[in-house]
Amino acid sequence: MSRATSLSSLSRACKRYGPGRLPKADHRAIGAGYAGASAAVAIATVFAFGMFGLSQYGPSLETWAIAPFWGFSALVAIPLVLTTAFLAGALTWQVVPASIPYAGAVAGLLATILTYLASLAVVFAILVGVAAADGTASISAALTEAGVLTAFIGIFAVVLTAWFTLPLGCVSGAIYERARDAAPESQ
């Protein structure tokens, strides 16, 4: 089966069974938001269960002792990732014109990067709020502490997942654009 046939099959399946059936999915940006959110949730879920599986059935190295923590963190982060991926997808598809070559792949890559940045911005805001609510530290100390912890989370998130999410963002974007092109009634 050729790559084009595979993409066509995937795009038909997404249109028939996926987020293409949700309200306003026929609008390019809203549909892209749905597609990005569903891809992000799928990635986070697969990553979480992969970490749990790795801790149980992977190599018996002390390095993997923290894998359940990352798996649990991915599950807890799903609502945040779902929301930011939807917004990133919708925003990106508003900005990236459909006329550029490989528009879906480019927009998918940009939406994935924006999802990381937006998620970390929300994490930073939550950590600042928690530190400020504690009341024991000054605002500059709270900002510094939240910044360091957010950077730590961001570095690990990127190292552990970007190798998979960035290419998958490109593929998901290409599939979404292919599904849109195949359905002229949704233009």
| Domain annotation covers residue 41 | yes
Tell whether the model's pLDDT for residue 187 goes beyond 50.
Answer: no
Task: Determine the pLDDT at residue 186.
Answer: 44
Q: Is 14 inside any structural domain? A: no
DSSP conformation class of 79: H
Q: How many CB atoms lie within 10 A of CB 124?
A: 18
Contacts of 134 (CB under 8 A, 6+ apart): 142
Cα 121 to chain centroid, rounded: 14
- Classify residue 51: in a domain, yes or no: yes
Residues in the chain: 187
Mean pLDDT of 20-27: 63
Question: Has residue 20 been placed in a domain?
Answer: no
For residue 98, the enclosing domain spans 28-182
Q: Are 122 and 84 in contact (CB under 8 A)?
A: yes
Is 24 or 148 the better-scoring residue by pLDDT? 148
Which two structure tokens, joined as six digits, stand for 76?
A: 């807890």
CA distance 187 to 11: 15
Look at residue 165 in the predicted model and tell me its pLDDT. 93
- The contacts of residue 53 (CB under 8 Å, 6+ apart) are none
Whether 4 is in a domain gets the answer no
pLDDT in tens, 48-97: 888 777 777 666 655 556 677 777 888 888 999 999 999 999 999 999 99
**102 vs 184, more confident:** 102
What are the pLDDT digits (tens) for 119-171? 999 999 998 888 878 777 688 888 888 999 999 989 988 998 899 999 999 99
Give the three-state DSSP class for 137: coil
Within-domain flag for 177: yes
- Give a yes or no: residue 2 inside a domain: no
5 within some domain: no
Tell me how many domains the chain contains.
Answer: 1
User: Model pTM?
Assistant: 0.79
Residue 168 sits at φ, ψ, to 5 deg, of -70, -35
